[in-house]
């Protein structure tokens, strides 16, 4: 096989690869304040937060109870529940997360870092602070995009 044919075959194989991305939504009520902010967010206030945990994979489970899944949504929930119960839902995020300035960006990264060793294929965490303001954090996955 010539170098050109080999390169063409590589491109063909890459274009036929499959990837699945699943998302598990979660919600929590919490207060925070941004002491460095130059506006009203420097004051104590709260939000009805919404988040999504994104998991990616290119192979599905081949047998058993999880067949044809990359991961069971219930397993994502199992790892997320302690964070919600012990740090996020109905808490003051400045205190429970250890973040001095808990912006949406910092909270998304904090959640990602709490889950990255527990959830194989974790690709991103999305945090919606309001219905019009959100952040997606992805570690080392610069090409990750959720539309």
Task: In whole angstroms, give the CA distance from residue 119 to residue 54.
Answer: 10
Lay out the sheet containing 133-137: strands in order across.
Answer: 91-92, 20-32, 45-57, 122-130, 133-137
Q: Is 45 among the catalytic positions? A: no
By the 8 A CB rule, do 47 and 129 touch? yes
Task: In whole angstroms, give the CA distance from residue 6 to residue 4.
Answer: 5
Q: Is 129 among the catalytic positions? A: yes
The single residue of 25, 45, 90, 116 carrying the catalytic annotation is: 90
For the chain, give the longest Cα–Cα distance. 67
Q: Is 131 among the catalytic positions? A: no
C-alpha 85: how far from its chain's center?
18
- Give how far Cα 146 sits from Cα of 25, 65, 66, 92, Å: 14, 28, 25, 29
Q: Which residues are catalytic?
A: 41, 90, 129
């Amino acid at each position: 096989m010539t170098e050109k044919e080999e390169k063409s075959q590589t491109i063909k194989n890459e274009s036929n690869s499959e990837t699945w991305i699943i998302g598990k939504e979660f919600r929590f009520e919490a207060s925070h304040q941004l002491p460095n902010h130059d506006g009203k967010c420097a004051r104590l206030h709260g939000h009805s937060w919404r988040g999504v945990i994104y998991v990616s994979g290119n192979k599905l489970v081949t047998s058993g109870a999880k067949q044809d899944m990359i991961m069971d949504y219930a397993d994502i929930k199992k790892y997320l529940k302690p964070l919600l119960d012990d740090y996020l839902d109905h808490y003051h995020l400045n205190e429970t997360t250890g973040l001095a300035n808990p912006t949406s960006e910092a909270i998304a990264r904090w959640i990602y870092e709490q889950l990255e060793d527990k959830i194989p294929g974790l690709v991103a965490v999305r945090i919606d602070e309001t219905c019009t303001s959100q952040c997606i954090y992805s570690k080392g996955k610069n090409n990750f995009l959720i539309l």
